[in-house]
Amino acid sequence: MRFLRICFFSLFAVLSSSAYALTDAQMFEVMRFMAEKPKPDVTVNGIGIYVYDGINSLDALGPYRVFMTAGLKPFLIAKNRGTITTNDNLKIQVDKSIADVTKLDILVIPGGAAETVAQTKDPVTLAWIQQIDANSLYTTSVCTGSWILGAAGLLQGKNATSNWYRAKQILAKYGATFQPKRWVQDGKYWTSAGVSAGIDMALAIVVNLYSHDYAQAVMLDLEYDPQPPIRGGSLAKTALVPRRNMTWMYDFYLLDSFVRSK
């Protein structure tokens, strides 16, 4: 939508005098559609996506693109300003630190692996998340980002989802009830399953803020219509052998550092 707005207004003069000129009624409808505002208004303090070394890049950039397309101007925040490196070696420049941001309308916490475990044990990060949550309209997570929300004490008594890996067991450590869904809303808390599910959660938030028509326009702008070549992507849709091997791989990297940690 942001891209569409830029194109629309930059070409307005040309279109209005061309063979493709819109009628007054069409012009009014387009202007009305483009002027739709989010309810509640999440543009006061904005949408901040907290990033750190080792995040899954799509955890952060999927919701970022959805919110940007919806015209909501999200931005990235790190513990310190500078460059963070994702777990797929994408380097991202972050211009805002947690010291710069004291309030947000929406907070998004992406996930990762071992680095996410480290975030669950960082008192400075957890204290900042608690501070932001005290005034946020929505506090959200993608994938294992829910581990961080849980460690901050925000999911106690809540329904939530997460990356599929030992999700029921891990969320129970934080007093949350695992729901095997792509995304879950419980009050102001929104959590999503692994990686690509963050896109679905962000779109659900756009539906909540605007309307189905507006969200469909965002989806069309992104041409978001997933059609994977094979069945898979969740525990329920994955065959035994790949499911078992993926679990063993995750156990090798994470079980000692997190699941058995005190």
Catalytic residues: 143
Quote the distance between the C-alpha of residue 17 and its chain's center. Answer: 41
Task: Return the structure tokens found at 40.
Answer: 């509640």
Residue spans of beta strands (DSSP E) within 38-136? 47-50, 75-77, 82-85, 91-94, 106-109
- Residue 64's Cβ-count burial label (10 Å; 0-12, 13-18, 19+) is buried
* Residues forming beta bridges with residue 190, ordered by sequence position: 140, 185
Task: Return the structure tokens found at 218.
Answer: 């965002």
Residue spans of beta strands (DSSP E) within 24-181? 47-50, 75-77, 82-85, 91-94, 106-109, 138-142, 159-160, 177-178
Residue 16 gets the label, from left (phi > 0), alpha (psi -120 to 50) or beta, of alpha
Report the first-to-last Cα separation within the chain, whole angstroms.
46
Task: Return the structure tokens found at 114.
Answer: 């071992």
CA proximity to 43, closest of 72, 76, 3: 72
Task: Report how far apart, in Å, the C-alpha atoms of 209 and of each of 4, 84, 137, 206 are.
Answer: 19, 30, 11, 5
Task: Report how far apart, in Å, the C-alpha atoms of 262 and of each of 23, 121, 163, 169, 175 are.
Answer: 67, 11, 21, 14, 15
